């Protein structure tokens, strides 16, 4: 058969992601800090955009003149007509982010303020500094927390405790206060605190100098009753009352000198090696959740994190009329298209964040009402199906976004917890509730004969309606830092 070249025309369907749609996706997954930097860049390079500096007022009320940006001082005369152009523009074009979006969970949500569409290409300049700067102590602890294997409930408790660590590395919160705020047992908070105190740097999250030094000595396997008695009497050491210390610790002069030398070699400020925490304090919530009448939860976008932009149509009409070359006309046209894409994309982003966060609050209202032990199993697909969006969209929305609730500030990702199937075909169990069952079973082991193997725990849980594999029990047990059944028998066999 002879080979020959020929032309063919074929018709087919395919998905093409335009540059505008790509930019809309990028905007959706940006945090509020990244978004503010991005918008600031666009304000600098697009003369048709201006930041709306006016107060939140009704459309019928008086409007003050929007100040002219310094970089466009030459356009001051045109900027004086901004208000007239604002009044003539359509709601979607004239401003974005000029009032917070609000939704009552359990009722209808008004999406009338939002537009649709994407934005335009951007090379992401300006974010390198956030990646290259030194980590703060809080960021260093949060990084270790993400790899600690704690349950969702324990993770949120750990997050609250880490936020209460000062720059010196000391915990500035009471365990009972944290427990009351999160609606959980103080014993659980103590257990989570002990995990954080095992993080680097050694001695972090201690409540006082004595505990900080004790943690460091235990890490070096140098803690014993004698040096413990010395730590209990640090004021005597500060006064150099060696005679009293020898008597209290029950040691001679040489042992006391060695113990004092060990203590002087420790670090009383474990967080001193890290830079200050100004960067961590910049995190602001994207959404506020407040309790409303009738048991409903009001979900409201944080207007302070929403860019407030104006499109100067009067200035566009003036410069487009004065454009003489094709290059000038193309530049003005591109600026107008880019400004419209950006403003519509910002509206779409705000609408999507509110929609997703409202559904999250619907799903996790028991946590808001009763505490951290009432977190429900939740995944991206459940939320996506409920609001008619794709899972990838929900994933982008929840990445780097924060919700402020009466129980504290949480990343949206926190509310997504895994589920364990029910052996009886009923409602699934949350992973945290299963971990709690395993922990309580092991806590009942008082003698060597009471120790449960992982296989036995599986049998007990299945009898209780939890369908779980042995390897999952072992994974949860190790994540909670509980020894194996062999080690637990050995520990119970040893004399106290």
Per-position pLDDT tens, the chain of length 496: 567 788 888 887 776 677 777 778 888 888 888 888 888 888 888 888 888 776 544 444 433 333 333 333 333 333 333 233 333 333 333 344 444 455 555 433 333 223 333 333 333 334 444 444 578 898 889 888 887 878 878 888 898 899 899 989 999 999 998 888 888 889 999 999 999 999 999 999 999 999 999 999 998 888 888 899 999 998 888 888 888 989 999 988 888 888 898 888 898 899 888 876 444 445 789 999 998 888 889 999 998 888 888 888 888 888 888 877 888 888 888 888 888 888 898 999 999 999 999 999 999 998 888 887 787 888 899 999 999 999 988 998 998 899 999 888 888 888 887 655 555 555 566 676 788 888 888 888 888 888 999 999 999 988 888 888 888 888 888 888 788 888 888 888 766 5
Which H, E and C letters describe the chain, residue by residue?
CCCCCCCCCCCCCCCCCCHHHHHHHHHHHCCHHHHHHHHHHHHHHCCCEEECCCCCCCCCCCCCCCCCCHHHHHHHHHHCCHHHHHHHCCHHHHEECCCCCEEEECCCECCCCCCCCCCCCCCCCCCHHHHHCCCCHHHHHHHHHHCCCCCHHHHHHHHHHHHCECCCCEECCCHHHHHHHHCCCHHHHHHHHHHHCCCCCCCCCECCHHHHHHHHHHHCCCCCHHHHHHHCCHHHHHCCCHHHHHHHHCCCHHHHHHHHHHHHCCCCCCCCCCCCCCCHHHCCCCEEEEECHHHCEEEEECHHHCCCEEECHHHHHHHHHHCCCHHHHHHHHHHHHHHHHHHHHHHHHHHHHHHHHHHHHHHCHHHHHHCHHHCCCCCHHHHHHHHCCCHHHHHHHHCCCEEEECCEEEEHHHHCCCEECECCCCCCEEHHHHHHHHHHHHHCCCCHHHCCCHHHHHHHHHHCCECCCHHHHHHHHHHCCCCCHHHHHHHHHCCC
With beta carbons less than 8 A apart as the criterion, state whether 339 and 49 touch: yes
- pLDDT of 15: 65
Taking only the tens place, the pLDDT of each residue in 381-414 is 999 999 999 998 899 899 889 999 988 888 888 8
Range 129-134, long-range pairs (CB < 8 A, 24+ positions):
130/279, 133/275, 133/279, 134/274, 134/275
Q: How large is the C-alpha radius of gyration of the chain? A: 30
- State how far the Cα of 170 lies from the Cα of 208, in Å rounded to an integer: 7
- pLDDT of 99: 41
- pLDDT of 126: 40
With beta carbons less than 8 A apart as the criterion, state whether 354 and 109 touch: yes
Helices 152-163 and 431-443, packing angle to 10 deg: 90
- pLDDT of 103: 52
- State how far the Cα of 298 lies from the Cα of 197, in Å rounded to an integer: 37
- State how far the Cα of 147 lies from the Cα of 77, in Å rounded to an integer: 57
With beta carbons less than 8 A apart as the criterion, state whether 410 and 182 touch: no
- pLDDT of 61: 41
Contacts of 82 (CB under 8 A, 6+ apart): 50, 65, 66, 310, 312, 314, 315
- pLDDT of 16: 66
With beta carbons less than 8 A apart as the criterion, state whether 223 and 205 touch: no
Token couple for 150: 């704690």
């Amino acid at each position: 058969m002879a080979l020959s070249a020929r032309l063919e025309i074929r018709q087919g369907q395919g998905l093409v992601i335009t540059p505008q749609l790509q930019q809309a996706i990028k905007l959706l997954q940006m945090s509020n800090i990244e978004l503010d930097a991005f918008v600031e860049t666009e304000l600098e390079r697009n003369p048709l955009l201006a930041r709306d500096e006016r107060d939140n007022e009704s459309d019928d009320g008086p409007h003050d003149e929007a100040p002219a940006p310094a970089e466009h001082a030459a356009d001051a005369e045109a900027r004086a007509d901004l208000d007239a152009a604002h009044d003539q523009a359509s709601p979607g074009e004239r401003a974005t982010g000029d009032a917070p979006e609000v939704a009552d969970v359990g009722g209808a949500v008004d999406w009338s303020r939002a537009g649709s569409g994407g934005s335009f290409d951007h090379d992401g300049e300006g974010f390198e500094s956030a990646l290259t700067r030194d980590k703060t102590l809080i960021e260093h602890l949060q990084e270790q927390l993400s790899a600690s294997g704690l349950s969702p409930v324990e993770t949120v408790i750990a997050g609250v405790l880490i936020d209460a660590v000062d720059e010196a590395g000391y915990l500035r919160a009471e365990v009972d206060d944290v427990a009351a705020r999160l609606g959980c047992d103080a014993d659980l908070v103590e257990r989570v605190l002990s995990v954080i105190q095992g993080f680097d740097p050694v001695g972090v999250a201690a409540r006082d100098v004595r505990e900080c030094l004790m943690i460091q000595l235990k890490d070096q396997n140098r803690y014993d009753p004698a040096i413990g008695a010395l730590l209990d009497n640090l004021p005597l050491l500060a006064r150099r009352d060696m005679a009293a210390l020898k008597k209290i610790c029950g040691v001679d002069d040489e042992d006391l000198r060695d113990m004092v030398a060990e203590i002087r070699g420790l670090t009383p400020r474990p967080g001193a090696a890290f830079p200050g925490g100004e960067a961590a304090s910049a995190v602001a919530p994207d959404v506020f959740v407040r309790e409303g009448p009738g048991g409903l939860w009001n979900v409201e976008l944080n207007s302070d994190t929403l860019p407030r932009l104006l499109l100067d149509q009067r200035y566009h009409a003036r410069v487009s009329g004065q454009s003489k070359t094709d290059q000038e006309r193309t530049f003005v046209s591109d600026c107008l298209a880019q400004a419209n894409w950006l403003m519509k994309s910002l509206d779409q982003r705000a609408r999507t964040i509110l929609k997703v966060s409202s559904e999250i609050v619907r799903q996790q209202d028991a946590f808001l009402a009763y505490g951290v032990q009432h977190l429900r199993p939740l995944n991206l697909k459940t939320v996506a199906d409920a609001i008619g969006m794709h899972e990838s969209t929900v994933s982008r929305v929840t990445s780097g976004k924060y919700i402020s609730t009466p129980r504290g500030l949480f990343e949206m990702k926190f509310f997504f917890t895994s589920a364990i199937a029910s052996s009886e075909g009923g409602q699934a169990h949350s992973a945290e509730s299963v971990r709690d069952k395993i922990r309580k079973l092991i806590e009942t082991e008082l003698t060597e004969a009471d120790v449960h193997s992982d296989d036995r725990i599986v049998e007990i849980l299945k009898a209780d309606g939890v369908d779980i594999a042995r390897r999952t029990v072992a994974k949860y047990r190790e994540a909670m830092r509980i020894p194996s059944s062999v080690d637990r028998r050995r520990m119970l066999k040893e004399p106290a």
